Amino acid sequence: MGNTSWIDLKGSYFIISVFLVCFAPACDGGNILVCPLDGSHFTNMKVLLEELHSHGHKLTLMRSNHSWYIEEQSHLYSTIHIPSKFDLKFFGVFLEKQLQAQIEGLASLLFFAPEFISLFKNIHQMWQDDIHYVFNNKTLLKELKDAKYDLMLTDSGGTLGLILAKYLNLPLVLNARWFNALDSHFVFAPSPVSYIPVTGSGFTDKMDFFQRVQNVIHLSFALAHEYLVIPGYNALCEKYVQDGCDIASIMQDADIWLFRSDFVFDFPRPTMPNVVYIGGFQCKPAQPLPAELEDFVQSAGEHGVIIMTMGSLSTDYPVHSLMK
């Protein structure tokens, strides 16, 4: 009797296997809408895009024509074009002035303050124009809806992707480090400033009373930025998304935060289970140096060399002022 049931069992396994092979859904890549930010944000995002592309996912990227780093043509993605009347030359001029102000000290910083405020106004105006363009182009909106994307991958520093994800009702994955002037942790996790140093304060998680007071002042500068900027975006949310929305709650509802940091660099702080720390994800196995560089490094002898990098906006940095 044991024997017959074994044969029966094998038969049913066979039938189930054939059934599964014939009727299981085909497994294919996702259809991902990407709204990146420019500059170093994009050099990071590109590493993720390369990985997603190599796994067979289809990527569509929204790119405004004021982009620096986001190529229009790429084998990784197709682009949706957003025309922009802005010319980012003003940003290079800003960097030069900011650096000069940093070198010259506080008085100079105050002197340039109106210019800094006008720069930030320009940047946010540019981003808000992008949002107006997308939501007022009905052809584009219909194309976005019809494309039936599986998820939105965007940067927590930008808002177009957030509002679009809400509008298209897409799961939201954020590539994060900053939200305006604040570390994104301030958006999704309790961040008591009595032991969480605000970026730029230079403090650690162990502060005395006066340092804590200064930490609160640093936080209030960052929050002032939020209070000036965020209502403008919330108004766009109200205008374009049915039933309204606000930027902070869209972010708090995000499905996954890919966080570009690691606790090796940061002090302990509360976090959330949907945060994945991907700090160091850009690192690749070491490669031999080009011969010319290798000779240079070897010529330094036992003293070695120091590498200093200027970040993604280096062509705009006034290197001559730094050399002084």
Query: Does residue 122 bind ligand NAG (CB under 6 A)?
Result: no
- The only residue of 60, 74, 137, 214 in contact with ligand NAG, by rule CB under 6 A: 137
Query: Does residue 79 bind ligand NAG (CB under 6 A)?
Result: no
Query: Which residue type sits at 213?
Result: V
Query: Does residue 78 bind ligand NAG (CB under 6 A)?
Result: no
By beta-carbon proximity to ligand NAG, the closer residue of 88 and 216 is 88
- The only residue of 12, 17, 43, 65 in contact with ligand NAG, by rule CB under 6 A: 65
- The only residue of 2, 21, 73, 85 in contact with ligand NAG, by rule CB under 6 A: 85
The strand order across the sheet containing 31-35 reads 78-82, 58-64, 31-35, 151-155, 172-176, 256-259, 275-277
Query: Does residue 83 bind ligand NAG (CB under 6 A)?
Result: yes
CA angle 104, 115, 42 (to 5 degrees): 90
Instruction: Output the 3-class SS for 25-52.
Output: CCCCCCEEEEECCCCHHHHHHHHHHHHH
Query: Does residue 320 bind ligand NAG (CB under 6 A)?
Result: no
Sequence-ordered list of residues with C-beta below 8 angstroms from that of 228, at least 6 positions apart, any chain: none
Distances (CA, A) of 13 to 17, 23, 192: 6, 15, 57
Query: Does residue 95 bind ligand NAG (CB under 6 A)?
Result: no
CA atoms within 13 A on the CB side of 16: 6
By beta-carbon proximity to ligand NAG, the closer residue of 135 and 188 is 135
- Dihedral sign for Cα 115, 117, 123, 127, please: negative
* Three-class secondary structure of residue 309 per DSSP: coil
Q: Choose one: 1-9, 76-84, 195-203, 286-294; the region binding ligand NAG (CB under 6 A).
A: 76-84
- The only residue of 139, 242, 287, 309 in contact with ligand NAG, by rule CB under 6 A: 139
Q: Least distance from C-beta 138 to ligand NAG, angstroms?
A: 8
Distances (CA, A) of 30 to 17, 27, 52, 76: 26, 9, 9, 14
Q: Least distance from C-beta 67 to ligand NAG, angstroms?
A: 9
Q: Least distance from C-beta 136 to ligand NAG, angstroms?
A: 8
Interacting residues toward ligand NAG by CB under 6 A: 65-66, 80, 83-85, 137, 139-140, 143
